[in-house]
Structure 1
Amino acid sequence: MITASGPLPGDNVFFLLMGAILVFAMHGGFAFLELGTVRRRSQVNALVKILSDFGISTIVYFFIGYHIAYGISFFGDVQQLTGSDQGFAMVRFFFLLTFAAAVPAIISGGIAERARFVPQLMATAFLVGLVYPFYEGIVWNGNYGIQAWFTHQFGAPFHDFAGSVVVHAVGGWMALIAVWLLGPRRGRYGRDGSIHPMPPSNIPFLALGSWILIIGWFGFNVMSAQQLQAVQGLVALNSLMALVGGMLAALALGKGDPGFVHNGALAGLVAICAGSDVVQPIGALAIGAIAGAIFVYLFTFVQHRLRLDDVLGVWPLHGVCGAWGGIAVGIFGLRALGGAGGVSMVSQILGTALGLAIAMLGSLLVYGLLRKSVGIRLDEEDEYLGPDLAIHHVSAYPEEDIQKA
């Protein structure tokens, strides 16, 4: 019930809970996007990996990460935890957890089909428990005085409303390091320079994953306001315009390829997160369209020129489009282009660069140490068999396997 004086505490609890549920549902989208993109022998692994990563993320973020980012822990009794705000702090933890857990979900798509299961869970624990919340706290809680310094030096703090950089760019650049350290799937690139296609196993599942992510994204962006009285219809409209811009650009440049179309929409949404509350809707359309073009061109460049086997293209999609979204705030957020103002291009560049540096350094340390200590890649026989059978001992199509036998 909203009174004349504003929403009651319970209203905000329910509002943010709905946002948390929407973003939690996005993890199903991550799972089906990966399931549809990988080969048939890796589909079970995609589903198990995303849900398991979420479980590990919950534990480490609850006990370690949330305290690093916000200085808050949940070790009091029930009366202390609920208090006068009816547990708003706890549902806020749930909401922000779903953001944190998106980081390993992003990484999962890049390293698909050849990563060992338990070492990846170990990587998730370190990245979500330590690395991600370190940068999250800098941007969203003002830790270490960096945002205050940006404001003092350049007139405005680094602005990332819903995580173009904090979540997506950080996850994408972590994934780049992991992909590089793992190496390509066996058979992806020939010694003679040839490139062997490994087409998606199920386009309908890929499309379903994209649709689930698109729907949940409105919770991701709009409900980042975290309070009913702070909600902006502008954020919803900008999210819509950016996803359409990204999709249409990818449709045109990707020549109707369904993978480009469905990921192009996600590219637009990744890019608009940071500035969805300060840019004009036509600016959001442009941000999304540029992101869609970035994804189409960089996906091909990474696979063919750099020869990095980033299976779902998570570095172009989340890493580069996320960084573009952070920088785009400094352009389209200006009053001269119809934006709300109060942004600084220098702060946007430096804040974005800081996030990328923390992500790459953290990922290099975590995956580098795991590679040297326990190993991060399936052995040749298990990779040939496929992670579904090698790790989980069941395939996505057991009836067909029995018939073939």
Structure 2
Amino acid sequence: MTKPKPGLIALITGAFLLIATPALAAEAESTINDLDTVWILLAAYLVFFMQPGFALLETGLTRAKNTINIIAKNFMDMSVAVILFFFFGYGLMYGSGNSFIGLNGFALSGLGDSNVPIWASFIFQAVFCATAATIVSGAVAERIKFISYLIATGVLTALIYPIIGHWTWGGGWLAGLNFFDFAGSTIVHSTGGWAALIGAWMLGPREGKYDAEGKAQAICGHNLPLAALGVFILWFGWFGFNPGSQLAASGIENAKAISLISVNTILAPAAGALTAMLAVWIGYGKPDLTFCMNGALAGLVAITAPCAVVSPVASILIGAIGGVLVVLSARFFDLLHIDDPVGAVSVHGVNGVWGTLAVGLWGQKALGLASDGLFMGGGLGQLGVQALGVVSVAAFTLVTMGVVFFIVDHTIGLRVTRTEELRGLDIDEHGMEGYSDFQIFTTR
């Protein structure tokens, strides 16, 4: 029997590999959709761009002597969040475990791909985590120690936010009850808002914020054009936040869903800005720009939960009510002497609650909700589940972050000294100024 020549064996083997290898590769990657992957990454980049939006908004609404401090907090909470979410948070949120917490997948180990690579899923979720963290920055501005803020951010992003996320997006106990929060009115915004509330309350108000009779005194931001630019950037980035949460772009149904979500994401903040302007104009005699801006943000936060399951008309109503709520809640927190320099609690906490409840009012089963909302003929069932989710997240965040702030306050301290606060945190906390060669001095 004649043995095959080595060259013939090589030719046959090469031909087999040429045919078989693409098939094997296709089988291994058959679940990954290239369009979905690009869509998720693009949305993640847009959400990342919201971070400078927050930085500009908060910087503009606070005083010049704290410019570096505000920017540093926004810069570093993103850095802290993505590192800790990589090593711990993503696994706690999406790993398998129980209905309360994930117990594997740390540093993404052992987690597989779905319709997009795990890397794409991670970066999208990581920037959401950073958004929840940076909400706190504005409410505690101008008086918290930088190191204390970083510690609180670390706990929030490594542990508290991921656990709440596991209850819902990770398939936990709230998901089992059909709680619906499409892009995070509660999971992201209320979590950040409640953390901001407990932090602002425990810190106490800034020097000079309330007079001897307890009346609130205006402490004006130093650069409203900068703040306005920040709001426009946030509004733009929200088109990654909400439509991106569809998590897919391929196919007609996804295209329709993304289009509806985008329409709702532009209508609700527009309505919020209009009603906030009218409310403050009627109530205080002038169309205050800061409330117009926060009204738009209130509409964005409010529509984040229901954006995929409500009609455009409903989104206008949701945003319009959110704009009024942001004005009323700011006044309410002033009466409680809770000093929130940028209105973060009113925008994110209060309107995160409102948007989540709105799912149970105008949500539609035909658009993917488990049952119709109250105003759509579905009764109180979905509204009750939404309310349970709101209360559960609020209680968990307030208690856990309260413990964190308490421990920090009784160890290294939460608040800078009165002298440091009056001089400005830029000099004492960072050893530099935001505006060199300008003499910046205030008595409060």
Q: Which runs of 5+ in 2 are unaligned?
A: 1-29, 96-104, 282-286, 372-381
- Structure 1 pair 85/167, CA: closer, same or farther in 2 (3 Å)? closer
What is residue 238 of structure 1 aligned with on the other side? 264
Once the 2 structures are TM-superposed, how far is the Cα of residue 334 of structure 1 from its aligned partner? 4.3
Q: Which amino acid aligns with 1:319?
A: G
Correspondence list, 1:52-67, <5 A: 52-67=76-91
Pair 1:162-2:191 in alignment: no
2:155 to 107, 119, 126: 126
Q: Counterpart in 1 of 2:424? A: 386
Out of 126, 132, 151, the position equivalent to 1:103 is: 132
**Could you tell me how far 1:87 is from its partner in structure 2?**
6.8
What's the offset of the Cα at 1:356?
0.9
The one-letter code matched in structure 1 to 2:175 is Q
Structure 1 residue aligned with 2:47 = 23
Q: Which amino acid aligns with 1:225?
A: Q
8 Å CA contact 2:36–2:249 kept in 1: the answer is yes
CA contact (8 A) 1:10 1:85 kept: no
Of 296, 304, 314, which aligns to 1:265? 296
Query: What is aligned with 2:70?
Result: 46
Cα offset, 1:389, TM superposition: 0.9
**Equivalent position of 2:122 in the other structure:** 93
The answer on 1:206 being equivalent to 2:227 is yes
Per the TM alignment, residue 84 of structure 1 is displaced from its structure 2 partner at its CA by 7.3
Whole-Å separation in 2 of the counterparts to 1:86 and 1:217? 23
Residue 56 (structure 2) pairs with residue 32 (structure 1): yes
CA–CA separation in structure 1 for the residues paired with 2:368 and 2:94: 27
- 1:340 CA displacement: 5.7
Verify: 1:142 aligned to 2:171, yes or no: yes
Per the normalisation by structure 1, the TM-score is 0.90
- The answer to whether residue 322 in structure 2 is matched with residue 291 in structure 1 is yes
Query: Which structure carries more relative contact order (alpha carbon 8 Å, separation 6+)?
Result: 1
Change (3 A) 1:321 1:113: same
8 A contact 2:294–2:343 mirrored in 1 = no
Alignment match, 1:368: 406
Q: Is the 8 A contact 2:135 2:196 kept in 1?
A: yes
Q: Which amino acid aligns with 2:106?
A: S
Identify the range of structure 1 (20-29 vs 390-399) with the bigger mean alpha-carbon deviation.
Answer: 390-399
Structure 1, residues 197-237: CA drift from partner, whole Å, max 9, x if none?
Answer: 21111110110110000000010000101111335111111
Partners of 1:257 and 1:53 in 2: how far apart?
30
Residue identity opposite 2:288 in structure 1: D
Q: 1:383-403, CA deviations, whole angstroms, 9 ceiling, x for partnerless residues?
A: 11111111111111112239x
Q: 1:164–1:84: structure 2 CA closer, same or farther, 3 Å change rule?
A: closer
Q: Distance in 2 between matches of 1:158 and 1:196?
A: 41
Partners of 1:401 and 1:107 lie apart in 2 by 29
Q: Which has the higher helix share?
A: 1
Name the CA distance, whole Å, in 2 between partners of 1:86 and 1:36: 41
- 8 Å contact from structure 2 (residues 32, 113) kept in 1: no
Whole-Å Cα distance in 2 between the matches of residues 163 and 55 of structure 1? Answer: 21
Are residues 1:329 and 2:355 paired?
no
Pairing partner for 2:275 from 224, 249, 253: 249
- Percent of aligned positions with the same letter in both sequences? 36
For each residue in 1:104-149, what CA deviation from the matched residue of structure 2 results, as whole angstroms up to 9, or x when unmatched? 2100000000000011101111111011110101110112x3432x
> What is the letter of the counterpart of residue 361 of structure 2?
I
Matched with 1:154 is none
Counterpart CA distance in 2 for 1:117 and 1:351 is 32
Q: CA deviation at 1:281?
A: 0.6
Superposition misfits of 4+ residues, deviation over 3 angstroms:
73-76, 83-87, 338-341
Structure having the higher Rg: 2
**Conserved? CA contact 1:127–1:366, under 8 Å:** no
Equivalence for 2:341: 311
**One-letter identity of the residue aligned with 1:250:** A
In structure 1, list runs of 5 or more residues that go unmatched.
1-5, 151-156
CA distance in 2, matches of 1:234, 1:299: 31
Q: Is the 8 A contact 1:280 1:339 kept in 2?
A: no
Cα contact 1:332–1:339 (8 A) shared by 2:
no
* Distance (whole Å) between structure 2 residues aligned to residue 168 and residue 351 of structure 1: 13
Rounded to whole Å, the distance in 2 between the matches of 1:174 and 1:386 is: 24
Change in 2 beyond 3 A, CA 1:64/1:253? same
Structure 1's 196 and 68: CA in aligned 2 closer, same or farther, altered over 3 A?
A: same
User: What corresponds to 2:370 in structure 1?
Assistant: 342
Aligned to 2:306: 275
CA shift digits 1:9-54 (9 cap, x unpaired): 3322221111111000001000000000001101111111101011
The AA in structure 2 aligned to 1:47 is I
The 8 Å contact of residues 69 and 141 in structure 1, kept in 2 or not, is answered as: yes
Kindly provide the amino acid, as one letter, of the partner of residue 279 in structure 2: L
Q: How many residues align?
A: 382
Residue 179 of structure 1 and its aligned partner are, at CA, apart by 0.4
How many Å separate the matches in 1 of 2:226 and 2:351?
Answer: 23
In 2: Cα distance, 1:194 partner to 1:84 partner:
56
Partner Cα distance (1:328, 1:122) in 2:
34
1:400 pairs with 2:438: yes
Aligned partners of 2:115, 2:328: CA distance in 1, in Å?
Answer: 49
Contact 2:32 2:115 in 1 (8 A): no
The equivalent of 1:357 in structure 2 is: 395
CA distance in 2 between partners of 1:287 and 1:34 (Å): 25
TM-score (norm. length: structure 2):
0.82
